[in-house]
Amino acid sequence: AKEKGKNNCQFYTREMNASIEEKLVLLEGLRNALDDGQFRLVYQPKVELHSGRVFGVEALVRWEHPEQGVIGPDRFIPLAEESGMIVALGEWILRSACAQNKAWQDAGLPPLCVSVNVSPRQFEEARLVERVRQALDDSGLAPQWLELEVTEGVIMRDLQQAVAKMAQVRAMGVSLSIDDFGTGYSSLSALKSFPISTLKIDKSFVRDLGRSSGDEAIASSIIGLAHRLRLRVIAEGVETEQQRSFLRENGCDEMQGYLFSRPLPPQQLAALLSAPAMR
């Protein structure tokens, strides 16, 4: 038994080394990935619940790693944050999303709002507002077709400064939404001072709609709260008809999830939106 315990111990150590090594390998690769053009964006439709109309898309980044294939953002965004790479990567994401949205408009697609995720370090960076303005200027995209998604955690780190920055973004005509709402710790009293237009219900509360009365209570409370603050509310991670019905019956405005569509490469998104049923 003692021998076995020792082996177990070695096993865990090897596993741990492997994950640290994996991090280092990815971190090393991240440095060149941007210059080598290994990142791409996919776009997930956002749908109005009462009409079924697609009014926007969320840009989500993917890394096409030369050896490892496609790597999801959960594996490299935290590394990019830690290493500071997120500022350059985030700028590329912002510029690409604006340029893509303008290209769709120029191609005659019904105009969409593109949402871009902004990570903590990127949001706190001094030149964020300037970078957003530059991305709009260079792409020719009108500001009302861009939205930034920020998490509660980002805002609560330095409330006053965050609110001031959000106000600058709003003043440009760009919208803001709070991502993963309900998982962070923003105080409800602070919420009323945020110059935002939308709350996004985190998918962890959406998963068990129709099965868990606790999650149903949370989801319907967020919807009620949002509406009383004159905000729109969107649910993410909607996978089933049951979840959609619950949300619609409880007055949620918008939804996003595999039930309607997975995140798609630009051409497939355009094809989906130009299909006759979508117009």
Nearer to Ca ion, 101 or 117 (CB): 117
The DSSP line for 179-229 is EEETSS---HHHHTTS--SEEEE-HHHHTTTTT-HHHHHHHHHHHHHHHHT
Residue list 224-243, contact with Ca ion (CB under 5 A): 236
Contact between 179 and Ca ion by CB under 5 A: the answer reads yes
Q: Report the 10 Å Cβ neighbour count for 94.
A: 25
Nearer to ligand C2E, 7 or 77 (CB): 77
Q: Which residue is nearest to ligand C2E (CB)?
A: 257
One character per residue 236-255, x = contact with ligand C2E (rule: CB under 6 A):
xxxx----------------
Q: Return the half-sphere exposure (C-beta side, CA atoms, 13 A cut-off) of residue 198.
A: 26
Tell me the C-alpha distance between 43 and 263, whole Å: 5
Shortest Cβ distance from residue 124 to ligand C2E (Å)? 12
- Of 2-10, 11-19, 73-81, 133-141, the segment contacting ligand C2E by CB under 6 A is 73-81
Contact between 266 and ligand C2E by CB under 6 A: the answer reads no
Contact between 74 and ligand C2E by CB under 6 A: the answer reads yes
Sole binder of Ca ion in the list 44, 101, 117, 119 (CB under 5 A): 117
Nearer to ligand C2E, 102 or 244 (CB): 244
Look at residue 169 and give the partner it binds from Ca ion, ligand C2E, none, a contact being a CB closer than 5 to 8 Å depending on partner kind: none
| 94 neighbors 70 (Cβ within 8 angstroms) | no
Please name which of 132, 121, 144, 119 lies closest in space to residue 168, comparing C-alpha atoms.
132
| 111 neighbors 145 (Cβ within 8 angstroms) | yes
E strand or H helix at 31, and its extent?
helix 2-33
Please name which of 110, 109, 127 lies closest in space to residue 118, comparing C-alpha atoms.
127
What is the binding site for ligand C2E (CB under 6 A)?
Answer: 44, 59-61, 72-74, 77, 90, 93, 117, 119, 179-180, 203, 236-239, 257-258, 263
